[in-house]
Structure 1
Amino acid sequence: MRRLIIISLMLFGVISYAQTTVQGTVVDENNEPIPGANVVLVGKAEGTTTDFDGNFTFNTSEQPPFSLRFTSIGFSDLILQVTSNNQTLSVTLSEASTLLDEIVISASRTPERIFESPVSVERFGLKEIKNTTAESFYGGLQNLKGVDINTNSLTFQSINTRGFATFANNRFLQLVDGMDNSAPGLNFVLGNLVGMSELEVQSVEILPGASSALYGAGAFNGILFMQSKSPFDFQGISAYGKTGLTSQDAAGDNNYYDFGIRVAHAFSDKLAVKANLSFLKGEDWHAVNTTDLGNLGADRTDPNYNGLNIYGDEVTTLLNFDAAAGLPTGTVGAANVSRTGYAESDLVDYDAQSVKTDFSIFYRPFANDFEIIYNGRVGRGNTIYQGANRYSVKNFILQQHKIEFRNKNFFLRGYITTENSGDSYDTRFTAINVNRRWKGDTQWFTEYAQTYIPTFLGGIQQGGLSREQASTAAHAAARQAADTGRLVPGTPGFQSAFNSVTTDGDLTTGSKFIDNTKFRHANGNYNLAHLIDDWADVQIGGSFREYELNSGGTIFTDSDGPIKYNEYGAYAQLQKKFFDDRFKFTGSARYDKNEFFDGFLSPRLSLAYTAGERRNHNFRVSAQQGFRNPTTQDLFIGLNAGSAILVGSAPSNLDKDVRTFDVSQSGQDLIGQETVDIVGRAAYENAYSLSSVLAGAPEAVNTSIIEPEEITAFEAGYRGQIGKFTIDLSGYYNRYKNFIANVTVFVPFYGTAGDGGLSLLALQNGDRQAYQTYTNSESDINSYGGTIGVDTKVLGNFDLGVNYTYAELDFDEARFPDFRTNFNTPKHKVKASFGNTALFENFGFNVNYRWSDSFFWEASFADGDVPAYTVLDAQINYSVPSIKSVFKAGGSNLLGDEYFQAVGTGNIGSIYYVSWTINP
């Protein structure tokens, strides 16, 4: 027993001797604690983080002397030597001397300086959030180089990089704490409508360009990462309040409110919780463009008028007045006539709202860096979404629930994302079916013709009018007669019909948008560096996703029950430095498989070299392949959007979309039928190209069913510090194969396309239907461009930054006139910022300038030119440390020149605001 006690004491002594403890506090240059700072043993995969007060305790078996590296996002690294056990360190980190010193994790899934990132990356952190001139941190991202934000509405801004953007931007991925917050049925992110409160944001990173090698199919055109604050590191109660007004010519001046609160508390070193709530309310940008894009110069007196933001006038028909009256051809004539439409403002409540809530539990069972996390997010909002039509998105709800296990070397997470379209509806079909609830199309056009014919003849025979004058007068009288008793907005009759239509999910009679689609996702990542003595950074990972489409047959062809399908992938990456850590190699590869398509391999190779005696120049080149799977809508949509019927091209979908159409009297005489049934497959196998029909020389086409889109991307870049100037430039070239886009075709109601007979008569008689197909381009499509950003200090401590972005599309449009790439990106953009975070004690300001070149917007709702525009934003802020508060006043578009970024949206006016943030 004595021997056992002696041996135990000896072992205890050895263990005690081998254990080294270091304590300390990490603060900034203002002596404010830095929570969440990393404390890492140099040369080893050991470390800890500071708590909310900046304190840390680090235990290691390493014997002094050794070195500790202290890092935190937004600060320069610091290395201090530990010379004895139980040493106490007082650590002061200075603000990152350049933007290139900041730490990012997205480019390689491991922490690294922007300076050493193998690809382009942009970062937006706590400092940038405080100094942004935009009314929200999300809007402030548009000032980053190479980043585009297209404003759909007040609460829906769509982020994109390197072209190919619509508001349904399914080429750009957005991750919130690792969760893809795309709406499952819509396949794209609704901006920050159901995203993250700015009180919760610790950092935002954006990777422009393809990143499929690490992040899979969704990371095709770029990724945005939002990382939240840990309740262990950022505790207490934080709150903000903003108020101001929005100003637009069409809407006037309207109040704007935005409030938020965050509560976080660590009950111990094992358990912490946090919760967030934010609420935004304002008047959306009114869309009031009445231009008829199909007949420029036409106004509402034109019998076939179709205004851009006028809906219901899409219902049109060819009225043959001579045939109707039994008169010889040419007596009265014929004309295309459209029904009278309603303005968007008659159909939409422009009440923009966003309510975001989330709750998280963090549990560290061993009081170290191993965490078990539950995170639940629920967002509800009202906005306007512009896709094939304009949609009033009301009480839209997106939920996400996640369980995650992680430490510094791995994570494993699983989450579910569900959407509920709430009370959303299609404005175009609202107008169409409100009209029809009052009076059917047949009756309306009959009454129109019955008034037009005698009025026209009387004008010529008794009134002595010319044919043109008689026609103008007759059309006006005919419309007035057919519209007699029409439902007027604001009246009980109109409201009753409106309510009935917008709660009806059958688009033949209603306009309600019904979608309860969801997806389940699991992914994980393991860094093997600590297992191989940090010889290299080696990571492996994978993911699995299952979709469950559920629209009740209103969007997808799922009237017989939800549609399920899945996809999965796995990847590996090796990153290693050579030659005194000047040369950095990064190689990765990922394999992905969707159940409908062959598997795809996405490799990436990057080489970087740090040059200069002071290691202040970094050169990099990279090449990678990526891919994009067709979306849920590309595969399974079955929707009559008014201007065309949308039919997805999954093989099982082609025969599920069956629609019945009325045949003209001339067609009935030919085929002996009053109606015909058209199957969606006909759009791909029995159709004429749109351009050929419009040109008067119909050409039959066979449209291939969709396949995954592929990209080969090349990039070269330089980052450097030259005197006071920080320079970051890059150039890229993208080559696409099987580029996914839409082709619109005409399907004849009878005959076979290309038969030279019956099908041509169908086109001539108007017995045809436009279909939008989902396919791949036969043409080579390439894009290229570049960015350069220069930041410096002037006049002492004033910050000045300027950046320029160039983007170009290489596509033979003349050869493929029906193919739509939706590049939608200006060729030239210039952005600049000027400010001072400490003009005098606790006072700072910032000014942002943006200029965008004109470009052509191409999307399913409308095409057209977007003029060049210039925007100036500014803000001032004042900190009051005694009450832990920051007061701010600012405005966007201070020049007041209204502009738009997409054809069909409301003009973007000005926003003026003041805010008070407590404990930011």
Structure 2
Amino acid sequence: MKIKLTTIFFVLFSIGLYAQHTVVVKGRVLDKRDKATINMATVKVLGTSLNTIVDGNGDFVLELKQSPPIKITIQAIGYKDYNYVITAKEEELTVLLEEDITSLDAIVLSASRTPERVFESPVSVERMGLTAIENTTSPSFYDGLENMKGVDVSTGGLTFKSINTRGFAAIGNTRFVQLVDGMDNSSPGLNFPLGNLIGLNELDVQSVELLPGASSALYGANAFNGIMFMTSKSPFTHEGTSVYGKTGVTNSENTGVNEFVDVGIRVAKKINDRFAIKFTSSLLKGTDWFASDSRNINKDGKVIDGNRSNTLNYNGINIYGDEFTNPTDVGFGFASRTGYAEQDLINSDTDSFRASFSAHFKPIKNNDDTEVILSSKFGTGNTIYQGASRYALRNFIMHQHKLEIQSKHLMIRSYVTLENAGDSYDIRFAGVNTLRAENSAVKAYNQVNGTSLSVDELWFGTYGNAMAGNVSGVSGGDIVAARAAADASFRTDPNSAEFRAIFNSVINNSDLTQGAKFVDSSKLWHSDINYNFKELIDFAEVQIGASARRYDLNSEGTIFTDTKTENITYDEFGIYTQLQRKFLEDRLKLTGSLRFDKAQNFNGNFSPRASVSYNVDSERNHNIRASFQTGFRNPTTQDQYIGLYLGNTILIGSANDNPQRYNREFSVSSQAGQFAAGGTSINFNGLQGYTNSFTRSSVELFADEVEKRATEIVVNSGGTTSVSDAKQQAAAEKSGLLTQSNVDYIEPEQVKSYEFGYRGRLSKNTVLDFSAYYNQYKNFIALITTVAPLYGDVSAGVTLAELQSSDPINNSKLLLNAISEGEYTPTTLYSNTDADVASYGINIGIETKIIGNYDFGVNYAYAKQDFNQADDPDFETGFNTPEHKVKMSLGNKDIYKGLGFGLNVRWQDKFYWQSSFVDAQINARTLVDLQFMYNIIHWNSKIKVGGANIFGNEYESAPGSGTVGSQFYGSWTYNF
């Protein structure tokens, strides 16, 4: 009996042990085509949060404490999912994944805020997945975005790139939104996305999705030209430690050959099924591209012929200080000071350091859908930014901190962005104020002669004496020798220790009358929420959401019209809803969205969107789509609150309360001071740019006609009439050409976008994607330059009676004196144009395989604006996009035993660039990038060797920006 009982006990115990036995599944994941290992696959247990990652050899081990049958799925980017049912307690698998031949079958979230195939997206969407990111031929994944269809990349510097689509671009693009893990990485004070300065470490990029065109219906203000989403890897599904090291050289004619180094690390650890952490960091150091454009800029900001040897009033694009000319013509013409080249005023070393940390928590046991994320991102670096001026960002810091809750249907996110300009300064002001600072030569002269003359007075005095032949060794009228004499006496040598001391003092002084430093400690708070009623409402998928944002601007008066004791704050909020429904066996999809946004300084704005997509055939290989979208752009913080003197103009923001806060003292001639009853120093208030100014075009026309008429008068008089008298007479005759400006305060700009597209799988290996669009713009935000005389009443106008009267100081004579003597200031105001502005274009791309297994792609983009300059002569659209672009790619990631290559070729035609810095033509260019890569499977490593612009076709992304040359590199990535 005891033996029987013991036997029964052990049988029952063994059954219990079997029921609780650990199921062990071992496997290797291979490419079905060539049996190559896949080392970035994830094995998931369906219905649970359990998963594991394959190692560098493609192997995995899954231990499960549950009874078979157990359903698992194996996923890898670029491959179709593989599903399998475990039926035994021990199994060993060889999983062959079939390549997903096109990225069009990838899942995107951005197009409709819900998961859907790229192939069935109702609007155009571009995507770069893990495979494309790892195999990009560019030095970094961010550089590789330029190979996307219809995408433009402007290079401001080695570490600063700007993304744009569909025209109206700038180096700092305020019409394009960039989100990194849901956070807007635009600078609150500088306004533009900071490229990848505070973006993602390339080891941590899961995907990049890009929506070209208007997207405000779902994403609010400023998603005007497009929006880009960069998403990082989850530590739950991408666990482990990876490091990379990259080094190489940059090479251009003006910089020579310079080394750079780029290193990074990613550490992700799943502590248990409910808690995981992640840390990333990277550092890049190198030498920035030099900006050395010495072409001449005329008074209207246009590039013209001329150089220092043959142009008195020379103003080089990348030369600073030569903006300042003699205030009055004393007989030798208006001549500019000899400025300093940009390389005299900056340290060309550039670097970028980034770090991030995140903690991920799944609060509900056995629920993989709900996750709480706490993350912080930090970025700092040195780079060059080009806007209305050139800015040296030195020790610039920006960091973001986020709390986010995600579940199957709910998303709540709140974050703060903080920045500090560090030691940043305006390069133009650095040149001007270093040039005009008192140096030892000025001190010595004044001490010997008992005077208190400024360096400007002494320089122009010396120059004038030399031109008159009163300086020993200089022939009268020799402009080159006269300038050399003045420079030798009173211009500080940029190679001297004294120059460096003066320069350092200037860039550490935030008073822009003497210094160049700008202060910026602005902040941004943002919160948004989205809920999907997918499982609560049957007839359609319905979403609602809202967002709120607050800006806190703090520049201590160096950028904005704030003060050291009073910041500027303002708020924005928005709400939206979207309804999506499918018909005809899910082949027809209708989507409608509506958003309402309200900013503190502006009226509310509605943004609707409607789209339809239809799979023509039952196999769903051919999809057509059509959409109507709207977008709007709130004026940026600078559009509203800037108050910045740039030497050749004053930028004045157009929020209702801003212009009157701006004041600046200007010096005028003693005669003018008597006329204006204000002495030799007159206060200019920002309101004058709006209420007491002439249009720029009328002043330019007036100046041209006066010059012509004055010449006629001198000639007709047989030389008996002096040039000065002739100009006064001509000015009186042509005064009717002067027209008072009429500039309204700024409003948000709006766009209506119509798009039609087709995506089709033409064969097993060939996919075609086509789209055409037409955009209509309203209230296009414009920079309008007016000319404000420092004295005189513009509204009263110029009358013949006053000009003929004996009164020496009446209003008409004041105005003509101000314009004729250059005693006025251009004011660049942010407003809206009434002119009709439109743009249209097409994008077409083909992806296929050739010669067996080589990936080949080619795409073409056409972009054109429709604008009649005569509708608004003073308005520049800044379209800044080539009309034609062609991009081609060829590659094979495994030619032989892990060796692969990639080739990208990009061509674009010439176009004309317009900006507040300078206008000029950008030449056509062809760029070639090439890379070879080798997977060392036994070392869990990948080696890359490549080059960008390998044929050295040097170019400028914008006039005055750094001249970009070639970049060659080698890298090694190791996965622990």
TM-score (norm 2): 0.85
CA distance in 1, matches of 2:611, 2:76: 26
Q: Equivalent residue for 1:153?
A: 157
CA contact (8 A) 1:792 1:799 kept: yes
Out of 815, 831, 836, which is 2:871 matched to? 815
Change (3 A) 1:49 1:782: farther
Pair 1:892-2:890 in alignment: no
Q: Equivalent residue for 1:359?
A: 357
Out of 558, 575, 580, which is 2:580 matched to? 575
Out of 454, 462, 469, which is 1:443 matched to? 454
CA distance in 2, matches of 1:80, 1:582: 28
CA distance in 1, matches of 2:788, 2:520: 28
CA distance in 1, matches of 2:83, 2:691: 68
Out of 613, 617, 625, which is 1:612 matched to? 617
CA distance in 2, matches of 1:812, 1:211: 27
Q: List aligned pairs for 1:80-99, cutoff 5 A.
A: 93-99=97-103
Change (3 A) 1:72 1:220: farther
Out of 515, 529, 532, which is 2:537 matched to? 532
Larger Rg: 2
Q: SS state of the match for residue 885, structure 2?
A: strand
Paired residue type of 2:546: G
Q: CA deviation at 1:33?
A: 6.3
Change (3 A) 1:576 1:844: same
Alignment deviations for residues 308-354 of structure 1 (CA, whole Å, 9 cap, x no partner): 11100001134432xxxxxxxxxxx3411111100101111111100
Change (3 A) 1:826 1:615: same
Out of 897, 901, 914, which is 2:970 matched to? 914
Pair 1:648-2:648 in alignment: no
Q: Equivalent residue for 1:193?
A: 197
Q: Equivalent residue for 2:751?
A: 711
Q: SS state of the match for residue 510, structure 1?
A: coil
CA contact (8 A) 2:50 2:273 kept: no
Q: SS state of the match for residue 168, structure 2?
A: coil
Out of 664, 673, 682, which is 1:676 matched to? 682
Q: Equivalent residue for 1:631?
A: 636
Alignment deviations for residues 683-703 of structure 1 (CA, whole Å, 9 cap, x no partner): 122211112111113211110
Q: Equivalent residue for 1:381?
A: 381
Pair 1:212-2:216 in alignment: yes
CA distance in 2, matches of 1:152, 1:184: 19
Out of 302, 308, 320, which is 1:300 matched to? 308
Q: Equivalent residue for 2:187?
A: 183
CA distance in 1, matches of 2:760, 2:48: 30
Change (3 A) 1:92 1:429: same
Q: Equivalent residue for 2:900?
A: 844
CA distance in 2, matches of 1:430, 1:455: 28
CA contact (8 A) 2:463 2:485 kept: no
Q: SS state of the match for residue 509, structure 2?
A: coil
- Say which is worse superposed, 102-111 or 373-382, in terms of deviation: 102-111
Q: Equivalent residue for 1:693?
A: 699
Q: SS state of the match for residue 668, structure 1?
A: helix
Out of 472, 485, 491, which is 1:480 matched to? 485
Paired residue type of 1:597: F
CA contact (8 A) 2:44 2:72 kept: no
Alignment deviations for residues 482-521 of structure 1 (CA, whole Å, 9 cap, x no partner): 5415322232211111111011111101000210001000
Q: Equivalent residue for 1:52?
A: 53
CA distance in 2, matches of 1:859, 1:59: 65
Q: List aligned pairs for 1:336-415, cutoff 5 A.
A: 336-367=334-365, 368-369=367-368, 370-415=370-415
Out of 289, 295, 315, which is 1:291 matched to? 295
CA distance in 2, matches of 1:607, 1:25: 43
CA distance in 1, matches of 2:525, 2:25: 43
Out of 310, 314, 339, which is 2:319 matched to? 310
CA distance in 1, matches of 2:536, 2:37: 38
Q: CA deviation at 1:168?
A: 2.1
Q: Equivalent residue for 2:422?
A: 422
Q: CA deviation at 1:436?
A: 1.9
Unmatched 5+ residue regions in structure 2?
1-18, 55-59, 443-451, 703-736, 799-811
CA contact (8 A) 2:437 2:455 kept: no
Change (3 A) 1:59 1:748: farther
Change (3 A) 1:108 1:673: same
CA distance in 2, matches of 1:585, 1:68: 34
Q: SS state of the match for residue 112, structure 2?
A: coil
Out of 802, 810, 826, which is 1:770 matched to? 826
Q: CA deviation at 1:421?
A: 0.5
Q: CA deviation at 1:424?
A: 0.7
Alignment deviations for residues 79-138 of structure 1 (CA, whole Å, 9 cap, x no partner): 778999999998654221212111111111111111001111111121112211110000
Change (3 A) 1:538 1:76: farther
CA contact (8 A) 2:41 2:74 kept: no
Paired residue type of 2:350: A
- Say which is worse superposed, 571-580 or 131-140, in terms of deviation: 571-580
Q: CA deviation at 1:542?
A: 1.0
Q: CA deviation at 1:878?
A: 0.3
Q: List aligned pairs for 1:230-309, cutoff 5 A.
A: 230-294=234-298, 296-301=304-309, 302-309=311-318
- Say which is worse superposed, 449-458 or 605-614, in terms of deviation: 449-458
CA distance in 1, matches of 2:64, 2:110: 27
Pair 1:721-2:726 in alignment: no
Paired residue type of 1:52: I
Q: SS state of the match for residue 820, structure 1?
A: coil
CA contact (8 A) 1:319 1:334 kept: no
Pair 1:730-2:771 in alignment: yes
Q: List aligned pairs for 1:14-163, cutoff 5 A.
A: 27=29, 29=31, 30=36, 32=38, 35=41, 50-53=51-54, 73-77=77-81, 93-163=97-167
CA distance in 1, matches of 2:593, 2:45: 28
Pair 1:761-2:817 in alignment: yes
Q: CA deviation at 1:456?
A: 4.4
CA distance in 1, matches of 2:388, 2:954: 24
Q: SS state of the match for residue 495, structure 1?
A: helix
Paired residue type of 2:782: A
Q: CA deviation at 1:579?
A: 0.4
CA distance in 1, matches of 2:42, 2:825: 60
Paired residue type of 1:888: K
Change (3 A) 1:138 1:458: closer
Q: Percent identity?
A: 47
Change (3 A) 1:100 1:57: farther
Q: CA deviation at 1:477?
A: 2.2
- Say which is worse superposed, 852-861 or 441-450, in terms of deviation: 441-450
Paired residue type of 2:322: D
Paired residue type of 1:572: T
TM-score (norm 1): 0.90
